[in-house]
Structure 1
Amino acid sequence: MDVLPAFLDYLTRERRMATKTVEAYGSDLSFFLAFLRVHMGAEPSPALLADVRARDIRAYLAERRREGLSDATVARILSSIKALYRWLDRAHGVGNAEVGYLQGPRRPQRLPRPVSIDAAKDLISEAENEPDQEPWIGARDAAVLSLLYGGGLRISEALSLTGADVPAPERLRIKGKGGKVRIVPLIPAVRDAIHVYADICPWALTRDKPLFRGAKGGALNPRLIQGLMQRMRAYLGLPDTATPHALRHAFATHLLANGADLRAIQTLLGHASLSTTQVYTGIDSSRLREVHAAAHPRA
């Protein structure tokens, strides 16, 4: 069995991971298997991988670290190696207990950096009224930013919408990372922003074509929205962290600060794991203390 192609096929077909994620696994593991080919003096078959010891993997990680890789990258590489071994164990009965006990460097947790409520409102308003911009383009930009902040969408998800999503539904069906589908409620302000744009867009918004268009009628390039945010944050005096994704962070953070359930936020964001969503609890610990004090029966 050719191990790497079989594992990547599993990630694509069964785990339904995004193409870039599968490519990242492929890159990490191809270097690892090439190292084993030299280090072990044989082709890395399942039998050989079963005989790999923890010291062999440590030797590989030390070699990569000498290349100047960061702790975060080394930790990611080890995570890829562990994922390969878990698959080998489940799918082919090739166990290796030593690998499971390996620990990589600790990665410092980076908290999301959302924009404030006022900043989110200002960004949407200024995008709609940007000087020297055609009205339909301003309406388009406001609609996109409204989806990021009002619906918690990733920019790729917002730009994946088609003319079939007009008129905007109260519950929007979104296909997110790894092909996972979730339902996102759209508040009236977001639906109104989409309708304003759709009514004045000069291009025919047919069901099979992108909803958001560039100036020449093609699909809107996400770099244009990133450039828009760059101009807006300079005008509004916002930090460099005020990116399109910061509006999605703001969606989650502001819901949590107003008492939303963490599980509900996980579902709305399309996170596979609750631990991914829990990072938002570190942003407003004072608010969480207030909720705890108000809700705990012994408070």
Structure 2
Amino acid sequence: MTLLHDLLARWHDHQLHDLRHSPHTVRAYQAAARRLLDHLPAGTGWTELAACDAQLLRGFMALRRADGLSNASAARELSALKAFIGFARQQAGLAGTAAPRLRGPRVKKGIPRAITPDEAVNLAEMVTRDGTAEWTGARDRAVLLLLYGAGLRIAEALSLDCSVLPLRETLLITGKGAKQRIVPLLPAVVLAIDAYLELSPWPKGAADPLFRGAKGGRLAQGIVQKAVARARTVLGLSPSATPHALRHSFATHLLAAGADLRSLQELLGHASLSSTQVYTKVDGATLLDVYRDAHPRERDH
């Protein structure tokens, strides 16, 4: 194995097994590390990586920005590189030395787009009818109702194994950074998952995936995303109606119904309350839309 491959392999294993990053994050962090290593002299090892300072990173990021990198993408890449260099300093025996201090570009946080409860249910019903087989349609419906009914990230839902069976009123979820939380399960969600399992032709041992792909492996996110894309086209919904939008809708609708931010933070598995506070803006935007649609003076204009 070459030095380059060894560096990337050890970084990959650290993210996957020690940090418990999602596969998507691992891929993004690996790609960022590879780009930095390609920029550095051949033969760079942990010691040389550990010596990377803010000036070197600033110059590298300037090259990346010249390639057309957006503020959001640049901020993510810089975060990945600082983590990589921090890991290099640990490998070089400099565990007490922090990664280079370099502030990334300001990124304006967008307001998540929620869909209405009717739209969420209609999406779930449409993917049922659109399934290539009865059991896959029931599977996709169960996944969407779980995302909307419990506010899960799609990766969290698809990582579940049959060890969670039989389903009860709550479910233990392992989220980002291996942080665990308990979410409530609505009876309608439990019924949808049970209906899918009744139709599924695959074994249901404790170590088996709860949601299966057509060939029996763990269901991939892309399959669910494509099913939702087809369904929203038929229903005439916005492109923003994605599987992840169901999580946003869960949060927005609970907040509108009177849920407090701290409880919502726990249900969503947010490490910081600031991540949850964005939903107050969503709810405000929803109220403004209702006002514009309903107020007599507005309708006259």
State the TM-score, normalizing by the size of structure 1: 0.76
Pair 1:60-2:60 in alignment:
yes
Query: SS of the residue aligned with 1:92?
Result: coil
Residue in 1 that maps onto 2:197: 198
Q: Give the 3 Å change call, closer, same or farther, for CA 83–188 of structure 1 in structure 2.
A: same
Q: Distance in 2 between matches of 1:133 and 1:43?
A: 50
Amino acid at match of 1:62: A
Number of residue equivalences: 281
8 Å Cα contact 2:224/2:243 also seen in 1: yes
Query: How far apart in 2 are the matches of 1:217 and 1:12?
Result: 24
The change in CA–CA distance for 1:34 and 1:235 in structure 2 (over 3 A counts) is: closer
Structure 1 partner of 2:115:
115
The separation in 1 between residues aligned to 2:106 and 2:231, in whole angstroms, is 36
Cα separation, partners in 2 of 1:127 and 1:65, compared to 1, 3 Å: closer
Q: Residue type matched to 1:64 in 2?
A: R
Match of 1:93 among 89, 92, 96: 96
1:169–1:186: 8 Å Cα contact kept in structure 2? yes
Q: Determine the C-alpha separation between the residues in 2 that align with 1:267 and 1:77.
A: 28
| Local SS of the residue matching 2:172 | strand
State the partner residue of 1:18. 22
How much does 1:122 deviate? 1.8
Bigger Cα displacement from structure 2, 59-68 vs 3-12: 3-12
Are the counterparts in 2 of residues 281 and 288 from structure 1 also a CA contact under 8 Å?
A: no
Q: Secondary structure at the match of 1:153?
A: coil
Q: Which moved more, 1:24-33 or 1:85-94?
A: 85-94
User: TM-score w.r.t. structure 2 length?
Assistant: 0.76
State the distance in 1 between where 2:18 and 2:130 align: 49
Q: Extract unaligned runs of 5+ from structure 2.
A: 289-301
Q: Match for residue 73 of structure 2?
A: 73
Q: Deviations over 1:54-74 (max 9, x none)?
A: 444332222222223222222
Q: In 2 relative to 1, CA 50–93 (structure 1 residues): closer, same or farther, beyond 3 Å?
A: farther
**CA RMSD across the alignment:** 3.6
User: What's the CA shift for 1:165?
Assistant: 3.0
Structure 1 residues 132 and 169, CA gap change in structure 2 (3 angstroms): closer
Q: Is 178-187 or 3-12 further displaced after alignment? A: 3-12
CA–CA distance in structure 1, aligned partners of residues 107 and 23 of structure 2: 25
How far apart, CA to CA, are the structure 1 residues paired with 2:24 and 2:255? 30
Distance 1:250 1:94 in 2: 42
Deviations 1:87-106 (A, max 9, x none): 6499533367xx42x33322
Name the CA distance, whole Å, in 1 between partners of 2:149 and 2:67.
43
Q: Residues 285 and 200 of structure 1: is their aligned pair in 2 closer, same or farther, counting only changes over 3 Å?
A: same
1-structure distance, mates of 2:82, 2:206: 43
1:269 aligns with 2:273: no
Matched AA of 1:115: I
1:123-134 alignment to 2 at 5 Å? 123-128=123-128, 130=129, 134=133
SS class of match (1:241): coil
- SS of 2:112's equivalent in the other structure is coil
Q: Match for residue 156 of structure 1? A: 155
For residues 31 and 241 of structure 1, the distance between their equivalents in structure 2, rounded to whole angstroms, comes to: 31
